Amino acid sequence: MKNQPKLVLASSSPFRKELLKKIYSSFDSVSPDIDESRKPGETPLELSKRLAIEKANALASDFPEHIIIGSDQVAMLGEHQLTKPGGFENSVSQLSRSSGQVIHFYTSVSVLNSKTSESITETDLCKVHMKQLSDEEIKNYVLRDQPYGCAAAFKSEGLGIALFEKIDGEDPNALVGLPLIKLTRSLAKMGINVL
């Protein structure tokens, strides 16, 4: 991996950092500080893609000769967006609504070469089929895993996996926040082989 361009992860997420470390050991991680509000009429797919691109572009002037990775995840229960719950009550409420339902996760990753302005953006769609959960199971889970900073109020890489009936998706990493299969493909197109 000598003479490879420097990588920057446009995120302060500890989950995304851990995922990127699986495939690339040396990179900077910087919060892009952008407005993540949904625009009127914007679909979950459009929102996820736009924010991934905006996150990467937000760091381009500070890192002018780098490969910048932006990623964003939108979780939807029907027409309702599931955000980071922030605390116990909201976590219980989200999981109660999600019990026995299917949650759609749109996880986009945008790879930007800030030197050439070349950019590749892809989106992974993952469907999580939730078990029918009792109030006690939900509260026990939230107390144990404390998923307060996770969209849809669970950590799939932790005890959250016990909440699922099944997962339909290409890449289990996407559910955690960074689709590594699509990312490695995009990096390869930019001349970075992680192997």
Whole-Å CA distances, 111 to 60, 147, 154, 172, 173? 11, 28, 27, 20, 17
Give how far the C-alpha of residue 33 lies from the chain's centroid of Cα atoms, to the nearest Å: 16
What pLDDT tens digit does each residue of the chain (195 aa) get?
456 678 999 998 898 999 999 999 899 999 998 999 999 999 999 999 999 999 999 999 999 999 999 999 999 999 999 999 999 999 999 999 999 999 999 999 999 999 999 999 999 999 999 999 999 999 999 999 999 999 999 999 999 999 999 999 999 999 999 999 999 999 999 999 999
pLDDT at position 1, please?
Answer: 46
Strand partners, 105: 75, 126
194 within a domain of the structure (yes/no):
no
> Whole-prediction pTM value?
0.93
Determine contact, residues 124/169, Cβ cutoff 8 Å.
Answer: yes
Residue 19 sits in which domain range? 6-189
Strand partners, 67: 7, 113
CATH number of the domain enclosing 87:
3.90.950.10
72 part of the active site = yes
103 within a domain of the structure (yes/no):
yes
- Return d(Cα 115, Cα 190) in angstroms, integer: 12
- The number of domains in the chain is 1
Q: What is the DSSP letter of 123?
A: E
- 33, 35, 72, 124: the catalytic one is 72
1 within a domain of the structure (yes/no):
no
32 within a domain of the structure (yes/no):
yes
140 within a domain of the structure (yes/no):
yes
195 within a domain of the structure (yes/no):
no
113 within a domain of the structure (yes/no):
yes
pLDDT at position 171, please?
Answer: 95
pLDDT at position 170, please?
Answer: 94
pLDDT at position 5, please?
Answer: 76
